Amino acid sequence: MKKILTIYYSRKGQNYFNGTIRDLEKGNTERVAEFIQEAVGGDIFEVETVKAYPFDYTACTKEAQEEKKKNVRVAVKYFMDDLEKYDTIFVGYPNWWGTMPMVMFTFLEHYDLTGKTIIPFCTNEGSGMGTSERDLKTICKGADLKRGLAIHGSESARSENTVKAWAKKQTDCLCENN
């Protein structure tokens, strides 16, 4: 039986939501990660930054844009001891400036993911997966990277059936291939 992990970074607080700014108690990506974990089981882990982003959405996006431009590796609050016991890793994040937040680069580059199956998912407000799948291919050398799922962030609360069906299909395909 495959050992599954869902890791994600998500932003609570002010978020862009169908053309407006809303204060979210639970981040869109967190919600999707929970749907995945409910559907396929396994462990779940939230990636957190050492330094919190500004509460203000616009200030946060400016900071994130600058991090991407300078290719900054944002400090991670906690790393997992080890990813060795996991075969399949769902990797979730909001699409910021066309890819993952830089903290996800920091987190993933910390590990040797050779031989792992990586299944990305992201939330966005219209930019889909952006270049994140290409970026993951570069970061996760030696891993089997599957095609990702992009969920419109403002629809994340209503995406449970879609997300769960997709996640189950991903893990069912893995069982069939072994």
Closest CA to 1 of 36, 32, 42: 42
Q: In angstroms, how far is CA 24 from the centroid of its own chain?
A: 17
Sketch the domain layout of the chain as residue ranges.
4-176
* Residue 113 near residue 91, CB atoms below 8 Å: no
Model pLDDT, residue 101: 98
Pure H helices in the chain = 28-40, 57-69, 102-109, 132-139, 160-176
Model pLDDT, residue 18: 86
Residue pLDDT tens, the chain, 178 long: 689 999 999 999 999 888 899 999 999 999 999 999 999 999 999 999 999 999 999 999 999 999 999 999 999 999 999 899 999 999 999 999 999 999 999 999 999 999 999 999 999 998 999 999 999 999 999 999 999 999 999 999 999 999 999 999 999 876 554 4
Distance CA 25, CA 36 (A): 19
Residue labelled with tokens 């946060």: 60
Exposure letters 18-49 (e unless 16+ CB within 10 A, then b)? eeeeeebeebbbbbbbbbbbebbebebbbbeb
Model pLDDT, residue 174: 63
Distance CA 73, CA 66 (A): 12
DSSP states of 102-153: HHHHHHHHTS--TT-EEEEEEEESS-TTTTHHHHHHHHSTTSEEPPPEEEEG
C-alpha distances (whole Å) from 54 to each of 2, 58, 63, 70, 151 are: 38, 9, 8, 18, 24
CATH architecture for residues 4-176: 3-Layer(aba) Sandwich (3.40)
Model pLDDT, residue 92: 98
